[in-house]
Amino acid sequence: MHESAWERDEGAGPKLDGELRSAFGIREEIERRVRSGIWAPGERLTSERDLAEHFETTRVTLREALSMLESEGRLYREDRRGWFVAPPRLVYDPTERGTFDRTARAQGRVPVTRLLDFAVVPCAPRVSALLALPVGLPILRIRRQRFLDGRAVLYVEHHLQPDAFPGLETADLTGSMTEIYERDYGFSYGGMVFEITTVGLHPAAAEPLRMAVGSPGLLVTRAHDDRAGRRVDCDFEYWRHDAILVRVAA
Amino acid sequence: MHESAWERDEGAGPKLDGELRSAFGIREEIERRVRSGIWAPGERLTSERDLAEHFETTRVTLREALSMLESEGRLYREDRRGWFVAPPRLVYDPTERGTFDRTARAQGRVPVTRLLDFAVVPCAPRVSALLALPVGLPILRIRRQRFLDGRAVLYVEHHLQPDAFPGLETADLTGSMTEIYERDYGFSYGGMVFEITTVGLHPAAAEPLRMAVGSPGLLVTRAHDDRAGRRVDCDFEYWRHDAILVRVAA
DNA sequence: AAGTGGTCTAGACCACCAG
DNA sequence: TGGTGGTCTAGACCACTTG
């Protein structure tokens, strides 16, 4: 019976009062408003207390409905800041290199990158596995935060061998890493590997994404080789799960 | 401060009573038991009421903790059946063809496929976009359910042109579709495209996965061409988000 | 300072699953 | 049929964001 929620024509009428008061009914009504454009992408919803009153229910039930829409990617929240209508997903191809800015602009979005920090740190086990370096060896770590139309959608960690990139700290680290590699160090890429998996966000990723710790995220891990087959770098991309659609042609 | 939850050594001691009673503290304690193997993969947890009593909290808070672990992929639930410890993820490469069985066995898992149905249906819009066929044209749809070690992890819909595969209904549809194409119809593949995105499960996918409608899932969409560049088929794979890790070498 | 989201309590009823 | 998970109520306090 509820199957209709996913098959319904756009123009279907409002639900009965009884259904409106359940979490599922509220979910449907909000989804209808979002799809019809009554609530526009990026718009902040009114407070949970107001919405709960409007739907004649409690905050717990209302939040249940909002959470459903969050896991579907129609709404998103910023920790303690409120609920917002989710913008369209960015179509993203992890096999291409240094394309965040270009891809975003090609899709009519406004990308911004912020450098969080730049440090030499001991090689962590997961990095060791990807770069084939001993755990504890000093390596370069660059952490960045990336925005789409003002919304933080991505937290990235780049890990690379420090001796292969002397003087990297003087480069502009808010653009494409690939361009820097090519222009300043004459690197050209060979193969690559990527992984995609769902994760619960740890604090280091949750905070720059303005999400609550433990929220679901999509982790895209990438590792690149140069033409000689040497592993050059790897990165860990923590995406808001609702901000991205991966598309790859093989 | 809570950052330690993701960095802590395996052998760290139990938390203070105060922390144990918060959803986050409970999350940590359960995670510890899962990681240490006290609770084994596939094992069913005791009832929510028992757990709530054990942690001296209410069911609402307890469920909050369980939900965190669910979104992290450490626990999973089967609708109305209870909570279970999640088995390891299947490492899966969508660019390979017909590999569910082989991949699963190579990773020491026991795969099973069940045919749900086989029908000629009107071409849906999303299928039309992938197969470049008019909406409404009759096409073949095969729906299957796939298990890993007895757990339903995948619901798949295959869509193909009926006239290209006469007599397909007589084949064994619980194995690799690719093998059937090649052996019975002499097809050989050219390129392919795949997409990965998070979704809220609609009823048709949620039910065979034994999940609640609206739960988060991972949708892997694939479309294959033959060597002449003709689009042969497409499929929609709805995975339990915690059952899969996509890995692709490009 | 006010209002917000995040969290928690202590109940309750229902539909469903298993014994 | 008893126990389970799913859902819901009607409050409450706190930390934080915002004006």
Which nucleotides in chain C lie less than 7 Å from some protein C-beta?
Answer: 3-12, 15-18
Indicate if A33 and A60 belong to the same structural domain.
yes
CATH number at residue B94: 3.40.1410.10
Domain boundary among B53, B85, B117: B85
pLDDT band at A11 (very low <50, low <70, confident <90, very high): very low
pLDDT tops 70 at residue A78: yes
Distance CA A96, CA A78 (A): 29
Q: How far is the CA of A57 from the C1' of D3 (A)?
A: 28
Q: What are the phi and psi torsion angles at A149 (to 5°)? A: 50, 40
Please give the average per-residue pLDDT across A44-58, as a whole number. Answer: 92
Looking at residue A82, its pLDDT comes to: 93
CA-to-CA distance for A17 and A162, rounded, in angstroms?
Answer: 63
Give me the residues of chain B with pLDDT under 50, please: 1-18
Claim to verify: residue B109 and residue B59 sit in the same structural domain: no
The CATH number of whichever domain residue A59 belongs to comes to: 1.10.10.10
pLDDT surpasses 50 at A31:
yes
Mean pLDDT for the stretch of residues A204-213: 90
Query: Is there a single domain that holds both residue A146 and residue A203?
Result: yes
Domain boundary among B50, B85, B120: B85
Q: What is the mean pLDDT of residues A132-161?
A: 94
Q: What is the pLDDT of residue B18?
A: 43
A100 and A174 inside one domain? yes
Q: Which of B5, B73, B203 sits opposite A3 (nearest CB)?
A: B203
Sorting pLDDT into bands at 50, 70 and 90, what band is A167?
A: confident
Q: What percent of chain A has a predicted confidence (pLDDT) above 70? A: 92
- Among A85, A111, A134, the domain boundary falls at A85
Minimal Cβ distance to B71: which of A216, A246, A248: A216
**pLDDT the model gives residue B8:** 35
- What is the least distance, in Å, from the CA of A170 to any CA of chain B? 31
The domain total for chain B is 2
Query: Taking 70 as the threshold, does the pLDDT of residue A5 lie above it?
Result: no
CA–CA min distance B170, chain A (Å): 31
- Judgement on whether residues B56 and B107 belong to the same structural domain of the protein: no
Residue nearest to nucleotide C9 (CA to C1'): B58
Q: Please state which of the ranges A92-96, A104-108, A152-156, B2-6 shows the lowest mean pLDDT.
A: B2-6
Check pLDDT > 50 for residue A210: yes
Per-residue pLDDT at A112 exceeds 90: yes
pLDDT of residue B163: 81
Is the domain of A184 the same as that of A97? yes
Predicted confidence (pLDDT) at residue A1 exceeds the cutoff of 60: no
A31: containing domain: 4-85
Beta strands in chain A (DSSP E): 75-78, 82-85, 90-92, 111-122, 138-148, 151-160, 189-200, 216-226, 231-240, 244-249
Spatial distance from the CA of B146 to the C1' of C4 (Å): 45
| A172 & A101 share domain | yes
pLDDT of residue B20: 60
Lowest mean pLDDT among A69-73, A158-162, B10-14: B10-14
What integer best gives the mean pLDDT of chain A? Answer: 87
pLDDT, average across residues A175-179: 84
Same domain flag for A65 and A102? no
Check whether residue A194 and residue A95 sit in a common domain.
yes
Is-contact B239 B249, C-beta < 8 A?
no
User: Interface of chain B against chain A, CB under 8 Å?
Assistant: 2-3, 5-6, 24, 27, 60, 68-69, 71-73, 89, 95, 191-200, 202-204, 213-216, 218, 241-242, 244-250
pLDDT over 80 at A12, yes or no:
no
Confidence (pLDDT) at A180: 85
CA distance A181 to A186: 6
Q: Are residues A106 and A218 in the same domain?
A: yes
pLDDT per residue as tens digits for the range B20-29: 668 888 888 8
Strand D nucleotides within 7 Å of a protein CB: 3-12, 15-18
The confidence score (pLDDT) of residue B187 equals 79
For residues B66 and B175, membership in a common domain is answered with: no
Question: How many other C-beta atoms lie within 10 A of the C-beta of residue B134?
Answer: 9
Burial class (CB in 10 A: 0-12, 13-18, 19+), B17: exposed
Do B96 and B78 lie in one domain? The reply is no
